[in-house]
Amino acid sequence: MVSKRVLAQNSNRGYTPKLQNAIDFHRQGHTSLRKSADRFQVAKSHLHRSLCHKVIKQTRGRPPSLTPSEEQTICEAVLHFSNRGTPLSRECFKDMVQCYVRVLPQSRRLQILFKNYRPGEYFVRRFLRRHQEISLKRRSNLEKLRAIAMSPENLASHFARIVQVYKEYKINSPEQVFNIDESGFSVRTATRAHSKALFNSKGRSNSVELKWSGNAQHVTIMPVVSGDGRAWSPLVVLQGARAKYRLRADGTRETPSCYLPANAITCYRDPAGVDTAVFFEWVEHFVQETTEIRRKHRHIVLTFDGYGAHCSYKALKLLDDYGIIALCLPAHTSHRTQVLDYSVFSPFNNYFRNYLNERTLCAQDDSRNDVYTICDLLTKAYIRAVTYNNIVKGFEACGLWDPNKQTANPDVIKKTDIANIGTASFQEVAHENYLALVKDYVENRNMLRSDGEVVENGTLVTTAGALLTTRVVLDRLKAKELEKRAKIVERAARAAEAEARREQREQESVRRAEQRAQAQREKELFALWLSNRGLRWEQLSRSRADRRQWARLRAAHRQGATEV
């Protein structure tokens, strides 16, 4: 602890107890400047200036409207809302100060020169300068599912499982740990990103979009990285149903693969995404590519998220047959446990957007933008983003491999990662609980035995992560696969029966229609016959009447002749 005399001397320099503790901790050589600042919750720049004896001089200006004790109360309230995950905006901060001033005694309120007891921008800026533990940052919104998933139990199970897997399968080299993840790149989404640009101050902020062909709207890439900083053959899924090519000026063919990273695996699918068949094709290539490492170390570890295409029985069975341990990360924690999400995809997207903007500036009216163009831009961004430093830092930050300990490191999880919503004391308790759970799980639980819970649609439950290449999981997935196939066969049989019944109904309807047509024809013929018979009967009747009339006339003529 710092003595009162030292604090009294440093108070004239603007040192606070937290700052003095950070200075002493750093000078003892325990850790870096950044970690010392984070440990004692002080600004890194302030700590650096204090170590260099560059003390900020008190600037001239109006004295603070509030006393130090009142500002400290407001500061604690701001930190309370920040620790709960509901940080205050500028306007909300002004409202909070206004409410605080209104509850002060009337004699004190009259001394505060705020309009309607509400501070202005000048007070906000000066308040932030006086309190270095508070800074104005952009919001990084955390989804509710992710906040719930970052619980001590889930993360402790995850890291305990990793520690036991490394120990059981003798994972003692960073080249034995792999990570994969997919990311989609859409030209429309990239060009419409809400990023600032330079415009004429008197004009409108409209920008022109490139014209793209239908097969270049979306591309999915799946980088493959290992703990030693290597980038392996990525998987690229292009939009379309079949492979494409075009002829060069010299008559040779070129495909989109010519514009992709070296040894990239190219697949075509509409829409462009990874499904079970595409992922199995990549697994076959990955097994061949890692032959030398598996021959050297016997086992390697492959980590990925719980996407349904990753957890198919066919792919996991092939990985298990070749000694590849499949570790599934906890659900909704990829922002903290997924290497590629943590340190690669963010610069990847930025570089891709920059190259796309550069393409827009250099484009001509008759320029053609197709799948070859987007593959070229994707490759440029891939080379700059998937680097050794980004990969190694990602593995270290996510705890999958620590270069110093030469194993997994559960200590990389901070208290702010465990409980993103809650007070500082709650976060401290949750972090201590997490460390205790990791130690307890490693020593007293067998995390290599997964329960293998599978839901009705055949998807694995990966809430707290899972070891997928165990016999229990594979057997349950196989049973689910057989059950699914049986359902497919049953559904096909039902469909065939329904088709047969439909054809039978159609034949019956055709037969009935033919019978109705035949009956109608017979009815028409009978009506015609009746009409003809009526005419003939009428003719016969007329002829009979005429014969009778002639007979009567002849009889009358004969009778008259006799009388004469």
- Say which residue the tokens 């484009």 belong to: 363
Q: Which amino acid is at 390?
A: N
Query: Which residue's structure tokens are 């329904």?
Result: 498
CB atoms within 10 A of CB 201: 5
Rounded CA gap, 11 and 27, in Å?
19
Give tens-digit pLDDT for 304-351.
998 888 988 899 999 999 999 999 999 888 888 999 999 999 999 989
CB-based contact 438:154 (threshold 8 Å): no
Number of other residues whose CB lies within 10 A of the CB of residue 302 = 23
Give the whole-angstrom CA distance, residue 7 versus residue 509: 101
- In tens, the pLDDT along 265-309 reads 999 888 888 999 999 999 999 999 999 999 998 899 999 998 888
Whole-number Å distance between alpha carbons of 228 and 222? 18
DSSP-assigned letter for residue 331: T
In which element (H, E) is residue 89 found? none
Label each residue of 141-174 as H, E or C: CCCHHHHHHCCHHHHHHHHHHHHHHHHHCCCCCH
* Chain mean pLDDT for the chain: 82
Residues 406 and 401: their CA atoms lie apart, in Å, by 7
Distance CA 442, CA 450 (A): 14
**Residue 445 carries which DSSP code?**
-
Residue intervals in the chain for CATH 3.30.420.10: 144-193+210-469
Domain 144-193+210-469 has CATH 1.10.8.10: no
Asked if residues 299 and 327 have their Cβ atoms less than 8 Å apart, the reply is no
pLDDT, one tens digit for every residue, the chain (564 residues)? 444 444 344 443 446 777 888 888 877 776 788 888 888 878 888 788 777 754 444 455 678 889 889 999 999 899 888 877 678 888 989 999 999 999 999 888 888 888 888 999 999 988 988 888 888 887 766 667 777 788 888 889 899 999 999 999 999 999 999 999 999 887 766 555 555 666 666 666 666 666 666 666 788 999 999 999 999 999 999 888 777 777 777 778 888 888 898 889 999 888 888 999 999 999 999 999 999 999 998 899 999 998 888 988 899 999 999 999 999 999 888 888 999 999 999 999 989 888 887 777 766 555 567 788 888 889 999 999 999 999 999 999 999 999 888 889 898 988 777 755 555 566 778 888 888 988 888 888 888 876 566 666 666 777 778 888 888 888 888 888 888 888 889 999 999 999 999 999 999 999 999 988 888 888 888 888 777 777 766 767 767 677 777 777 777 777 766 554
Is 0.75 topped by the overall pTM? no
Please give the pLDDT value at position 10: 44
* Residue 331 · residue 348 · CB < 8 Å: no
Return the closest-CA partner of residue 179 out of 320, 318, 375, 325.
Answer: 325
β-bridge pairing 324-328 and 265-269: unpaired
Tokens of 67: 């006393």
Beta bridge partners of 185: 219
Q: What is the pLDDT of residues 117-156, one digit of tens each?
A: 899 999 998 898 888 888 888 776 666 777 778 888 888 9
Bridge partners of residue 178, in order along the sequence: 226, 302
b/e code 58-67 from CB counts within 10 Å (16+ = b): eeeeeeebbe
